[in-house]
Chains A and B, each alone.
Chain A
Amino acid sequence: MRWRGTEPAVSERASFLAGGGELGGLMRAKDWSASPLGDAAAWPQSLRTAVSTCLASRYPMFLWWGPQMVNIYNDAYIPVLGDKHPGALGRPAPEVWSEIWDIIGPLARRVIEHGEATWSEDQLLHLEKRAGAPEENFFDFAYSPVQSESGAVAGLLGVVSETTGRVLGARRLTTLSEIAARTRGVQHVIDAATRAVGALECNPGDLPFAVLFDEDGAVLAHAGLRSADVPRVRTAVPVQEVLRRRAPEVVDVLPELVLPGDRPAPAKALVLPAEAGSATLALCCGLGRHRPLDAELHQFCELVAAAIGSAVADAAALEEERERARALAELDRAKTEFFSNVSHELRTPLTLMLGPLEDGLAGQPVDLDMVHRNALRLLRHVNGLLDFSRLQAGRIEAQRQAVDLHVLCTDVAGAFRSAVEKAGLALEVDCPSEPTLALVDAEQVEQILLNLLSNALKFTFEGSVAVRVRTEGGAAVIEVSDTGVGIDAADRERLFERFHRVQGARSRTYEGSGIGLALVRELVELQGGAISVDSTEDQGTTFTVRLPLAPDAPAAALEAPSGRAQAYVAEALRWSDAPADGGAAEGRGTAARVLVADDNADMRDYLRRLLSPSYEVVLAADGREALDLLRDGGADLVLSDVMMPRLDGFGLLRCLRENPATAHVPVVLLSARAGEEASVEGLDAGADDYVVKPFSARELLARVRANLELGAMRSAEATRAAEHADGLQRLLDQEHRITETLQRSMLPAVLADDPFTTVAGCYEPAQESLEIGGDFYDAIPLDDGRLMLVVGDVAGHGLEAAATMGQLRAALRSGVLHDPRPDALLGHLNALALGGDRPAMVTCQCVLLAADGLSADYAIAGHPPGLLLGPGAGVAELDRAAGPPLGVLGLASYRAVHVPLIPGSTIVLYTDGLIERRGESLADGQRRLRERAAALVGLEPADLGARLVRAERTDRPFEDDVALLVARVEAPGPQLDLELAADPASLAVLRRALRRWLPANGLDATEAYEVLLACHEAATNVVEHAYGLQGGPLHVHLEAGDDGVRVVIGDRGSWRSAREDDGGRGGHVMRGIMDEVRVDRGSSGSTVRMVKHRMPVG
């Protein structure tokens, strides 16, 4: 029957079905009498109301009515049903939704049986909108009960909204950020690839598996697959095709895969190109069975490929950066080694010139030969260095002309003959009888030969050195070969590198700076030639130099081997000198016996002449020989060079200390490796003293004498100790040494970097006893320009006191940052000294210099008062308001005292060891110090301190440690020059200096801040952009005149253009402040010049 024909019936019986869109029509058309709901005309009012609510809604809604849950829905719900519409109308819900009834059935039953409403959010349901194709969908839905007229629940009304789009979007966004998060800062390509692809495992719904291929199609990383399946996927997908065409490909047929965790294996995959910087990778994405490959999914896969590509590219960039940093660090290490060696090479001849000259000045006979020889040696080193740096800078040109190598080689080898034969080796020269003409610079080829020959001689102990000349393959060839120790393969590769030295090879001498062969290579290349090396360990080495042949031309006349050759040969001759007396001692009866070990024959001669008037001297050419000599006859003192072949000075020292028979022999090391580190290295190794070249004869003799006395005392103690408690004394000695090393290492090596205050500190350990440790000094710059000076003394001695001192100094530095007022600082330290894990009594004085240098505040905790020396003659004591020592009274309070200063004022702080004497009151000691200081007014702080210490020490040895700090405030002049390192730490130094200098030159607070800001921007740019990792210098120059302030800030770096825009921000600030700004940026550095005009007065 057709309802449409009976309109009045509709309006009467089924008016609730009026309207309702498509579904309204369908419902009107349906014959409900066959359904479980029966004829629509007979439906109860409750059902009618519910149906009309449902149909009238624009929101997707449905109604499940009656025990069978008959399904009625509205138009908005049609898309949820997909192909199930319109068949789903009037059918029981469990049939309509059979595929998900296990999930929604229980929910529906709860509503109907218990009348409870439900609410589900983002519920995952695999709907079969199309038969046989379950799809992943997400819904928010709410079920509400609908009551019948009797009040019982007769059905449920559902409201549903699909959230698939939102859920997928969020899930994909998470995946992308996961890739970024997991790969941030990763520095290895493989690591980045693995992490990036691994991040996809958080989204198996979209991407059940993924494989990343490199540019060649090899697998880089994979996720979601068993390893065994990876090659199968690889053969099934068109990786090469995608890499070549750089376009994505869909793969419809995949091999049978078993995914971990029984996830359904994908049926399809998408292979896409992934751009990783300059390389193109390929990403194969397995696609989830429950998601169609729509435009969104495709776009998502592209984003994933891009994210993975950029993660890999970033890691590659970081990896490259790190590799560059490593290479730079290696060059840096080689350079340091090089300078340390060069320093040795230059200082040794310098000592051997200065020593005899001093003798000459003192009216003694001078060994002019030795002075001359060493001057030549020094000249050769300096020339070598200069040549090399000129070559590096491309400033040497070859004056090439036709040269007969036959003549040249014969001459140079001839000059070397005496040195080779003296070493007991044969010299072979093999040249063809006809001339071999090469187009070269004769002098430079001579230099090449000299270097190769002296190298050969240095490393050859028996056999021969040969020079051969021949023509081969259109080139002139010179071969220099030896039967020496050879070079191992690893060193061969780096032999011609700058600064590289073959480590540990046996040689005649340790001499050599590591540029010889690099210089040779540069010189050979300058001739348009090439050099190679062939070597077998313990068999010998052959260097082959190929030089261009000259077209037929007359050979230029050659001069005799130059002065250069003379210097090389003279030196090589000395290598073979046996220790002058073959180790025989110069008999002197009861004189102390001193063993000298040095590989330089001149140095040995010099030391022997110096020492033999007073001591019995034994000579050794290296550490090994020294050990042999000691075994034979012993020695009272060993004086040894640090750098020697076979066994160096440190090795010798270790051997001596390990053997109980020689453990007590004092050892004095001689070296040119100046600086704190080296001497600590010596002390750690157990050397008794360390003399740095060049040294004066007097200084060396004094050190030898002092150490001989120490040795005598030590061996007497050693004997005594052996009688009593075995080894106790040695332990005490050792503690003494450790304490001193510790004490020294904890004091600041460099004092405050401040152009307007000259600060010098010194520490002298107690001379006579074991009472070392506990005294300290420090100068701490504050950011605002103030400077804190501190001297203190921890009661007690030894390791304990030194350790407490270390803790206090650390607390001091942090305390100053917290509250720099001297009284507050002492209060802070007092609490610490009382409450620390090692309670200690400490005396201390601290002085806080104002930023303008025109006043200071000080406070005292039981400490001898410091001195204030005026620029004139006056001396005052900083002795007011003394408080108790730290660590004694819990309620101690300290007061700060203000004193005015003027430029030139000098403050001297010290510990009581400086003035303390037996049988004398402290007041007398203070008076004496005051008088002595008054006589020294006007000296540089370092000099003043040294003289005070020396004057006090001449009276008697120090029985206690002495720490002394001298600071002089200077007046800022009209010019300021700062040489800083381009390092962020320098910025604070710059601010300190300018905060003092600018106001001192008449700028008011606002102007001073602005000029500081402009300078700071320029300096920050240099720190950030001028240099790579290796850093470099930053020059700051300011000049104040009547017309204003001029600033020049320069560097020697090369700016990376990529960062120019960044640098421009600072530029904006500079231009906003200064009246003139000019930036010159070149390849060898940049300079910023700025001017701030002075405001006209009034």
Chain B
Amino acid sequence: MTPLPTLDVEDLGSVIVIALRGDLDLANLPEFDRALRAAMPNGPRALVLDLDGAGFLDSSAVQVLFTLHRDLQQRRQAFALVLDAEAPTRRALELSDPSGVLTVHATRDAALAAAA
């Protein structure tokens, strides 16, 4: 059984930063999705999801991120991912999101600067 990856939630006031460690797959996606939504209140302007610690992401994970992106957009909240430019985990994202619907920054600082 894939355990729920660790989520570290940091509340910077106007931005919530969530860092993920572990693998994502069908077995833990629903729980992951719920946890993200629970960690994102109405107030903040943006959610930054730091995926640098992720060990594995596939297209079903990207699908969950798409839905989350759409729902956040409806609430006028920005959503950005952090993923190193060389990380292999970028692959599923590149192939599932060729037109770049999801915003990806190479570093957390870049993501925070863009969200400010």
Chain A: residues with CB nearer than 8 A to chain B? 783-784, 817, 984-985, 987-988, 991, 1005-1006, 1009-1010, 1012-1013, 1016-1017, 1020, 1023-1024, 1065-1066, 1068-1069, 1072-1073
Contacts and interface: CB of A to CB of B under 8 A. Distances in A.
Given A985-B2, A1009-B91, A1072-B95, A1065 B59 contact: yes
Contacts, number: 70
B116 interface: no
B26 A1068 contact: no
Contact of B91 (A784, A1010, A1020, A1024): A1010
A1020 B26 contact: yes
Interface string B91-113: 11011100000000000000000
A783 B23 contact: yes
A1012 B92 CA distance: 11
Contacts of A1013: 56, 58, 91-92
Nearest to B2: A988
Contacts of B22: 783
Interface string B57-100: 01110010000000000000000000000001101101110000
Contact of B58 (A984, A985, A1017, A1072): A1017
A365 B55 CA distance: 66
A1066 B58 CA distance: 8
B26 A1023 contact: yes
Contact of B26 (A987, A1072, A1073): A987
A1024 B88 CA distance: 24
A991 B91 contact: no
A interface, over-half SS:
helix
A997 to B, nearest CB: 15
A1016 B56 contact: yes
Given A817-B3, A987-B27, A1065-B63, A1016 B88 contact: no
29 contacts: A783-B22, A984-B2, A987-B2, A987-B26, A988-B1, A988-B23, A988-B25, A988-B27, A991-B25, A1005-B88, A1010-B88, A1012-B56, A1013-B56, A1013-B58, A1016-B25, A1016-B56, A1017-B58, A1017-B59, A1020-B26, A1020-B58, A1020-B60, A1065-B59, A1065-B96, A1068-B96, A1069-B58, A1069-B59, A1069-B91, A1069-B92, A1073-B91
A1004 to B, nearest CB: 10
A1068 B92 CA distance: 10
Contacts of A1065: 59, 63, 96
Nearest to A1006: B88
A991 B23 contact: yes
A1016 B2 contact: no
A1073 B60 contact: no
A225 B61 CA distance: 48
A1068 B88 contact: no
Given A817-B3, A1016-B58, A984 B96 contact: no
Contacts of A784: 55
B36 to A, nearest CB: 19
A722 to B, nearest CB: 51
Contacts of A985: 1-2, 27
Interface in B1-42: 1-3, 22-23, 25-27
A914 B2 CA distance: 35
A1023 B94 CA distance: 23
Most buried by B among A984, A1012, A1017, A1024: A984
The size class of the interface chain B forms with chain A is 20 to 34
Contacts of B92: 1013, 1069
Given A1010-B91, A1013-B58, A783 B26 contact: no
B59 A1068 contact: yes
Nearest to A1067: B59
Q: Which 3 A-B pairs have the closest CB atoms?
A: A984-B27, A1009-B88, A1072-B95
B111 to A, nearest CB: 23
Most buried by A among B3, B27, B89, B95: B95
B59 A991 contact: no
Nearest to B29: A984
A984 B59 contact: no
A948 B88 CA distance: 46
B20 to A, nearest CB: 13
B96 A987 contact: no
B37 to A, nearest CB: 15
Contacts of A1012: 56
B102 to A, nearest CB: 14
Nearest to A1016: B58
Given A783-B23, A987-B27, A1010-B88, A1066 B2 contact: no
Most buried by A among B2, B55, B60, B96: B60
Given A1009-B91, A1010-B91, A1016-B58, A1069 B96 contact: yes
A783 B59 CA distance: 19
A1024 B3 contact: no
Contacts of A1073: 91, 95
A1016 B95 CA distance: 14
A746 B92 CA distance: 40
Given A984-B25, A1073-B91, 15 more contacts: A985-B27, A987-B2, A987-B27, A988-B2, A988-B27, A991-B23, A1009-B88, A1010-B88, A1012-B56, A1013-B91, A1020-B26, A1020-B60, A1065-B96, A1066-B59, A1069-B91
Contacts of A1010: 88, 91
Nearest to A987: B25
A1090 to B, nearest CB: 14
B55 to A, nearest CB: 6
A1020 B25 contact: yes
B21 to A, nearest CB: 10
Contacts of B23: 783, 988, 991
A783 B94 CA distance: 24
Contacts of A988: 1-2, 23, 25, 27
Nearest to B63: A1065
Contacts of A1023: 26
Contacts of B60: 1020, 1024, 1066
Nearest to A1064: B59
A1072 B23 CA distance: 21
A1068 B22 CA distance: 24
A783 B95 contact: no
Nearest to B88: A1009
A1010 B26 CA distance: 18
A788 B23 CA distance: 18
A1009 B3 CA distance: 20
A123 to B, nearest CB: 28
Nearest to B86: A1006
A1017 to B, nearest CB: 6
Contacts of A984: 2, 25-27
Contacts of A783: 2-3, 22-23, 55
A1069 B2 contact: no
Nearest to A983: B27
B26 to A, nearest CB: 4
